Structure 1
Amino acid sequence: MGYRNGYYRKDGTYVQGHYANNRSKSFSNKNNGCLVLLLAGLLLGLPMSCSDSSSDSPDKPSKPNSNCPTKTCGDFSSQSAAQSTYNSNKSCYKNLDADGDGIACENLSK
């Protein structure tokens, strides 16, 4: 597709340059591979962007799971009680381990 330069035929006559539309009116198969990759990327990325992402940053606290009871270090009388609760379900009670080292409520007495 584009402008076609002028040329001489075998019989010596000159054909003047003109715009030539070499594509058919149907969809071109030239770049379908790129289109398929783009659509696949969008389809794979969409569920990730719509999923509930939890954040461990202090300025953006994560939402607790709806089936997890809300527990804080103040709910426990000793560190060992908090540790046993934390070990029972680490994903549910991850707020008991503030620095992420696997030890829950380090400020409580053992």
Structure 2
Amino acid sequence: MEEGPESGSMFWSFAHDANITPVVAALGLDVPENHLPKDTIPFPNQYRASDIVPMDGHLTLERMTCNATAKSTAGIYVRAVINESVVPFNSCQNGPGYSCPLANYSSIVDAAPRFDESATRC
């Protein structure tokens, strides 16, 4: 994302749409503010895996170069789209269309858990 279009287009494809959920969790997307209760089923449910990974579910990360507007400055922004719906990052959504400035997005990715760190902890 930081290298931009000069690095070429990136497309990742996974064999199963359930591979989306760890990426969504690591980026802090669509995570409920409160823990789910253990003794009841909330209605409406604030987190349903079927909303994220229905048959043929997909996650798109868009890198956008935007001009200055009345609400945002010119710059490079990233936004997440899950199954055709924009999903703002919980900690960063101050760009156009609920996007996040690229530098802030990079900080989110750098702070995300790494597989090698998780394996060491386990």
Highest Rg: 1 or 2?
1
TM-score (norm 2): 0.20
TM-score (norm 1): 0.21
Which structure exhibits the higher relative contact order, with contacts defined as CA atoms closer than 8 Å and separated by 6 or more residues?
A: 2
**Larger relative strand fraction:** 2
